[in-house]
Amino acid sequence: MPPSIREAPAVQPLNEFNQALLAQVHPIDWVNPEPASLYDLVVIGAGTAGLVVAAGAAGLKLGLKIALIEKSLMGGDCLTLGCVPSKCVIQSSRVAATMRDAAPFGIHPPASVNIDFAAVMQRMRRIRAEISHHDSAKEFSSQGIDVFLGKAAFLDRQTVDVNGSHLRFKKAVITTGARASHPNIPGLSDAGFLTNETVFSLTDRPARLAVIGGGPIGCELAQAFHRLGSDVTLLHKNGHLLDREDPDAASLVQQRFLQEGLNLLLDCTLERVEKTDVGKVIHYQQQGKANTIVVDEILVGAGRSPNVEGLNLGAVGVKYDSQHGVEVNDYLQTTNPRIFAAGDICMQWKFTHAADAAARLVIKNALFAPLGLGRSKLSSLVMPWVTYTDPEIAHVGLYEAEAQAKGLDTETIHIPFSDVDRALTDGETDGFAKILLRRGSDQILGATIVARHAGEFISEVTLAMVTKKGLKAIAQVIHPYPTQAEAIKKAADAYYRQAFLNPTTQFLLKLVAKFS
């Protein structure tokens, strides 16, 4: 396909780092290959799920013919609009917060922390460009995958069109992901707003920033921009931030936000937005009273919409809707048994690692499960996730309310980080490890950890759950001292102490000790 037929996606600002990014993940001079006569697998969408499906299948070295199609940037949201850029900005904001909070450590902080916002964003773009070669068109082409840059649409039950080229397939996988959605607030579009898809294009710091939505994305970016010097107001429709999380964890993060000086408007109904000479005016209702705030920018962090448009899914019998995306069964198979889907396009878990895990199931179920034998289920996955506020909230398994709704009899072990020596030495005692057990056993049903680096040690609990090990097994693991992960060992020790207090156990132990 001649390069002139395809335009490069817009990436702003078009500086050296973003040009380097484009050269990797959507090179303007890329010439699509001549299609093979028949593909074993055609993958539509080169975000995390699509990349893992294509690379995983090709990496088996079985001579499978694979095509990978991307209309925008290879790497998807994770590389360009999500995980990578957001964590770069969050880390810069953490450094600024650490400098301001140095006094308790015997370090005299500067009178003011001078933040070069443009340099913060430049660092993010540099790192993003440095990472991008892993997801590049050349890299995947070098693995024997036919990489097509352009818009894909199904023509019939065995053909996909890409800019006029026809790709015939035995199996296909839809991995087109999702995009930021925004509430239908009168005047919002006319006033202009940011999402995670545009906020990382900023070069100037917004002096006054409104963040709409108190979920993970809204909370992460609200705290980061506040720490980087913006006057941030976070507006949320419910009475508590992060209301899908463990209540104790959400409460701790909310209190941290208030301590840091974020302006929280909860139980807030947005009525309209207007653009004026003094800024963008947000009209809202709170506790029956009308009020306004004036800001320079509005960041919407309120949900995702699946990318189902333009695929011509009806031509291949794939059911979908604009809210939930493509319909799949527990094997990630669509209503067309020859077409699968994975990632944000079809799953409630909208995480990079969830897309990765689902893609691995698709490889097995689509290519190595003849007559459906040996297939793996999406519901069998044990899925952890992390909200990257400071402190972080990491969770896996059931929440207590979910367990109760299932009729499970549970008990909870709660270890505050004020009891963890390393948390004390680090000055990071605002947090806890909470382990949910089936009552009368050491079986772990779920866990929530709140700590500055909670995401770094939730995997120990996840591993125990996946391998069907309980707290007894964790108690046998020697944890280096001092580490904050010792909180998990303390939870295991607490379980043992409770078990030993059982009268029968006490009697038996006394008897054994008497004859030892």
Q: Binding site for FAD, residues?
A: 87, 344
Rounded CA separation 11/34 (Å):
28
Picking from 372, 341, 339, 370, the residue whose alpha carbon sits closest to that of residue 355 is: 341
Q: Which residue has the tokens 């007894």?
A: 472
Instruction: Name the binding residues for NAD(+).
Output: 213-220, 303
Three-class SS of residue 50? helix
Q: How far is CA 321 from each of CA 238, 306, 350, 492, rounded to the nearest angstrom?
A: 26, 9, 17, 45
Q: How far is CA 242 from CA 167, 178, 252, in A?
A: 44, 21, 11
CA distance 490 to 473: 13
How far apart (Å, rounded) are the C-alpha atoms in residues 133 and 144?
A: 16
Binding site residues, as ranges? 87, 213-220, 303, 344
Residues 431, 385: Cα–Cα separation, whole Å: 17
DSSP E strands: which ranges in 34-86? 39-44, 66-70
Q: Are 141 and 255 in contact (CB under 8 A)?
A: no
Strands (E), 116-213: 146-149, 152-156, 159-162, 165-174, 178-180, 208-212
